[in-house]
Each structure stands twice: as structure tokens, then as C-alpha cells.
Amino acid sequence: MKGLWIKDLQYVYLQKNFFIIIVLLSIGSLFWSEDASFILTFFPAILSFFTQSSIGYDELDHGYTFLFTLPISRKDYVVEKYRFMLALLWGGCLLIDVWMILLGKVPNTTDTYGNMIMIACSMVLVQSILIPIRLKFGMEKSRIVMFLVLGGFFLLITKLTKVFSSMHLSDFVWLGIFLFLSVIGYGISRFFSIQIMNKKEF
């Protein structure tokens, strides 16, 4: 599995120009803005989408056919993608925290970090939807399916938010709900992604 990590990190390196632009925008936003809440969510969310790019690279030129001649199983491949997504997401959160400390932008309250964790959990849910769709339908067909599914997902989240808001739940309860949903969604998604990969023919 170490080889899979090296491969995906090399894919990220191939997109280093885009990565550098995102880093510079993030640092600039932290430097010039008094409110760091936006960049706390923007940077980790963007990083998590590098997982989709890595799957796209694997699909090119019959990449799967070559990949599975190596001593890795299809389950190993799926598990690594989910761990890679989490590493990018939470690694992005850690980088933003370090930059905030260096720039003296550390918030005085826990609200900002609470929002960051909830957004990170939301991105785990989003990626938990996107990864199995991408594995199932491939790069071309998955675009329309992703658009429809994500549209329905965000509509559902909007409706649920209105329902929960009427209950006047505390921020701590909200955080617990997001953490619970992200863990459940992650586990279910990974299970189905493994089944999808086991049934794919290359």
C-alpha cells in the first residue's frame, strides 16, 4: 500500500502549479482578512478533491490493468483512496492552523474550529458520495451522475438543516451529528466502493 501512497502523492506533485496557487490564495486570504472562517473550510475542501484527480489518472490508458498486476488487491486500492482523502482533508486543516499561528490569526473562540470540523465532516460525506460514483461509472459518465446526486444531497442537507434549526440544538450537538454522519457515511461508502471494484472488469 506504500506504493499507492507514493503514486498518489506524485499525482499531486504533477498538479503543483494549481496547488501553489491555492496555497498562495489561502495565505493571502489569511493575511488580509480579519475573518479566517472561509479559508479554514476552502483550503481543506479543495485538497480533498485531489482524490478524484488521482482516480482519473489511474483510469487513463488502461491504468487499472497495469495497476492490478502489482502485489495489491482491489480492496487495498479502495482503502488507500479513502485514507488518502482523509489525509488531504485533515492535513489541509492542520496546514491552515499552522499558517494562522504564524500570522497571529488564532481565533479567541472555539466557534471557528467547530465550524471547520463540521465543514470537514461535510466534505467527508461529499467525497463518500463521489468516490463510489467515480469508481462505478468512470470519468465521463460519472460527471452527470455526480451532478444529480450532489444536487439531491445538498437539497437534503438544506431540508434537514431547517428541521434541526427549529429544534434549537446547541453547537456541541450539531458537531456530534456531523461527526456521526460522516463516520457512518464513510464506512458505508467504503464498503460499497470495495464491492464495486471487486466487480469491475478491466
Q: What is the mean pLDDT of residues 160-181?
A: 74
Give the Cα separation of 92 and 40 in Å (integer): 9
Radius of gyration of the chain (CA): 18
| Grid cell locating 16 | 503543483
How far out from the chain centre does Cα 146 lie?
A: 14
Is the torsion defined by CA of 104, 105, 109, 115 positive or negative?
negative
Give the Cα separation of 78 and 76 in Å (integer): 6
**Domain regions of the chain by residue span:** 2-199
* Cβ atoms 79, 1 nearer than 8 A: yes
Closest CA relative to residue 133, chosen from 81, 184, 90, 91 = 81
Pick the more confident residue, 148 or 199.
199
pLDDT class of 174 with cuts at 50, 70, 90 = confident
Q: What is the pTM of this model?
A: 0.82
**pLDDT, tens digit (0-9, with 9 covering 90-100), for 90-146:** 888 888 777 777 777 665 556 666 777 777 888 898 889 889 988 888 776 666 776
Task: Tell me: pLDDT of 2 over 60.
Answer: yes
Give the Cα separation of 15 and 89 in Å (integer): 17
User: In the Cβ-directed half-sphere of 47, how many Cα atoms lie within 13 Å?
Assistant: 25
| Grid cell locating 56 | 482519473
Is the torsion defined by CA of 35, 38, 43, 48 positive or negative?
positive
- pLDDT of res. 90: 86
Task: Tell me: pLDDT of 84 over 90.
Answer: yes
